[in-house]
Amino acid sequence: MHVPALYQPADEAWSRDLVLGHPLAVMISNAVPAPHATHVPVVLPPGAPADGPLTGCGLLGHMDRGNPHWKSLTDGLAARLMFDGPCGYVTPTLYRTTPAAPTWDFTSVHLHGTVHPVQDPQETLDIVSHTVRTLEEAFGDKWDLAESLDYFRQIAPGVGAFHFRVTHVDAIFKLSQEKTPDVQERVIRRFEADDERSGRQLARLMRGIGLGTPSGTPTAT
């Protein structure tokens, strides 16, 4: 992924937070006649620290064994996991100048690495169960899967679990950094007023890294 220097994350924690906060990734790997791409839930393994660098980190995921993508995976195959964070449209009216052009502010992390398919049924069940617990804790109602374990055992043979070892991280945080503080402030305020959660997330991220005006109010123009 091409990442201009201006849009590179100032702290690796930004990338890790995005991956953990938006765990539905797209896995891409080469195949004939064209690459495969599949949406997969991805989580840290049990006991992994919640902080630290992503490079060298191990991750867990799974997909449908009936998916041709699964059937193409071999141990150690190079692959990529793409995580998209919040994004939002920026209208030129916020620039208050002409000529101008619209754009998107967006965030994304690409993890390069190797995939290692799991063949053991019990390990597959363990990975799926851990994934459910992790996602319920972070995004759900802390639902307890204990009473559904028998059902999980029934469906586990159709699930393809895998380990993913991260070898390199690309991350882009395009947040109107090239604009003046006044323009940034207007962009932030537009995102703050957005009915969509993604816009409000962008606004919080921009405020958090010091974009916009110090007072939080655009100067008169």
Domain map (residue ranges) of the chain: 5-91+98-177
- Backbone φ and ψ for 189, nearest 5 degrees, come out as -65, -35
Looking at residues 185-214, what average pLDDT do you find? 94
Region 110-137: mean pLDDT is 98
pTM over 0.95: no
Instruction: Tell me the CATH number for domain 5-91+98-177.
Output: 2.30.110.10
Q: What's the chain's average pLDDT?
A: 95
Residues 119-131: what's their mean pLDDT? 98
**Cα distance between residue 178 and residue 161, in whole Å:** 42
Quote the percentage of the chain above a pLDDT of 70: 97
How many H-runs (helices) and E-runs (strands) does the chain carry?
6, 6
All residues at 6 or more sequence positions from 4 whose CB lies less than 8 Å from its CB, including other chains: none
Q: What is the pLDDT of residue 216?
A: 64
When pLDDT is averaged across residues 194-214 and rounded to a whole number, the result is: 93
- What pLDDT band is residue 10 in, cutting at 50, 70 and 90? confident
Write out pLDDT tens, residues 38-68.
Answer: 999 999 999 998 898 999 999 999 999 999 9
- Per-residue confidence band for 196, with pLDDT thresholds at 50, 70 and 90: confident
**Band of the pLDDT at 195, cuts 50, 70, 90?**
confident
Cβ atoms of residues 68 and 33 within 8 Å: no
Distance (Å, whole) CA 169 – CA 10: 14
